[in-house]
Amino acid sequence: MALAEFLEDLDELADAAVAAFAAATDPKTLESARIEFLGAKKGRLKTVQKKMGQVDKTDRPAAGKHFNQLKQRIDQAFAAARARLDQGASPARQSKKEPFDPTLPGMSVTLGRRHPITQTIEELKEIMGRLGFHVADGPEIEDAWHNFEALNIPPEHPARDPLENFYLSVAGSNDEPMLLRSQTSTVQIRVMEHTPPPVRIISLGRVYRPDTADATHYPMFHQMEGLLIDTRVTMADLKSVLRMFATSYLGGDVHIRFRPSFFPFTEPSVEVDYQWNDQWIEFGGAGMVDPNVLEAVGYDPEQVTGFAFGLGVERLCMRRHNITDIREFYKNDVRFLHQF
């Protein structure tokens, strides 16, 4: 290709580019023009640039010099057009701006809310507090003694099965197996170990059981544990406390019934139901504390007796708010959580 031809193409292109940029009346048009001329892949400048390879070798330095000059000219034209459009826009925008209207409502700040489980726990603490129960806490990672042995669950009992508990792969400080607690009864033991009777505590917290998650089960959930140890405590006291609790939480005069059952750490053991609209609904389990458990913590079963009960927190919360799927609590969906 002759040098003259090449230079001619270049000049033509540069003129076209400058004209196009000058003619652009809004950013959109300018942008399309830019892509047409200065586009990195298919821009017309690029096309011409490629043709430089076809220019005779001796002419190439001159061609290149001219090319650079023209590119600069095109770039400047583009920059000028852009500046013009930007400047032109602002005065126009400003003139459209409205005066400030102070009668409009302000922008509200979204407030956080407590999780419904937390709210339920707080309420339960308050109700039981009025009945004279203090709140006790315990670790979620327990050793086998606190979670089983002290609760009258001997070494070979099926409740200890790895299929029924989340055992940790690391052992405790004395090489005993550690697990995520499967019930809050462990806190009973911890309190009784360090306190002489009388004891009047509740403990609320997370427990863990390997359960497939479905509408009514979840591998992690919350329990409320109650324990009362004193001299001459009877099952009538247990029933009274549970009835007062149920009445406080559910409102109205709520009746409680006991059904015989079995737990290793209580004797006798019962399952507790409450009556609601002519239906009996499961509340949880309870019983008189097994003498073996009292002995394990150093109490004298001939001197003191006591009762214990355990209720599921999620179940109470679901009942109160008509929630049908326990998994809603753990999805962390703000649309669900901010309704409480």
Partner 1 sequence: MIVSWKWLKDYIPLGMSVAELEHRLSMSGLNHESTTKVANDLAFDLEVTSNRPDCLGHLGVAREISVLWDLPLEIPDPRPTASGPAITDLTNVTVECPELCYRYTARVIRGVEIGPSPDWLASRLRTIGFAVINNVVDISNYVLMECGQPLHVFDFGLLNGPEIIVRAARDGEEFAAIDHRRYQLEPGMCVIADTQRAVALGGVMGGVDSEVSESTTDLLIEAAEFSPLSIRNTARKLNLHSPS
Alpha-carbon span 308 to 233, nearest angstrom: 11
Query: CB atoms < 10 A from the CB of 286, how many?
Result: 26
Smallest distance, partner 1 to C-beta of residue 190, A: 26
Tokens of 23: 């003619």
Please give the Cα distance from 87 to 27 (Å, whole number): 11
Which residues between 139 and 168 bind partner 1 (CB under 8 A)? 156, 158, 161
x/- site string to partner 1, residues 41 to 80, per CB under 8 A? ----------------------------------------
The DSSP secondary-structure symbol of 112 reads P
Q: What number of chain residues touch partner 1 (CB under 8 A)? A: 8
- Detail the DSSP E strand segments found in the chain: 134-135, 141-143, 166-171, 177-180, 199-208, 220-230, 256-263, 266-276, 279-289, 305-312
- Candidate residues 29, 49, 261, 275; the one interacting with partner 1 per rule CB under 8 A: 261
- Nearer to partner 1 by Cβ, of 271 and 328: the residue is 271
Contact letters (x/-) for partner 1, 203-242, by CB under 8 A?
A: ----------------------------------------
Residues of the chain by 3-state class (helix, strand, coil), percent to 5: 45, 20, 30
CB of 299 to partner 1, least distance (A): 23
Contact 245, 127 (CB under 8 A): yes
By beta-carbon proximity to partner 1, the closer residue of 261 and 275 is 261
Query: For the chain, give me the number of helices (H) and strands (E)?
Result: 11, 10
The answer to whether 262 contacts partner 1 (rule: CB under 8 A) is yes
> Pick from 92, 260, 278, 322: which binds partner 1 (CB under 8 A)?
260
Nearer to partner 1, 156 or 302 (CB): 156
* Contacting residue, 15, 36, 75, 271, with partner 1 by CB under 8 A: 271
C-beta of 262 vs 336, nearer to partner 1: 262
In this structure, the number of other CB atoms found within 10 A of the CB of residue 204 comes to 23
| Closest alpha carbon to 151 in 272, 300, 263, 226 | 263
Region of 145 on the Ramachandran plot (φ > 0 left; ψ -120 to 50 alpha; else beta): alpha
Of residues 38 and 235, the one with the C-beta less far from partner 1: 235
Residues contributing to the site for partner 1 (CB under 8 A) = 156, 158, 161, 259-262, 271
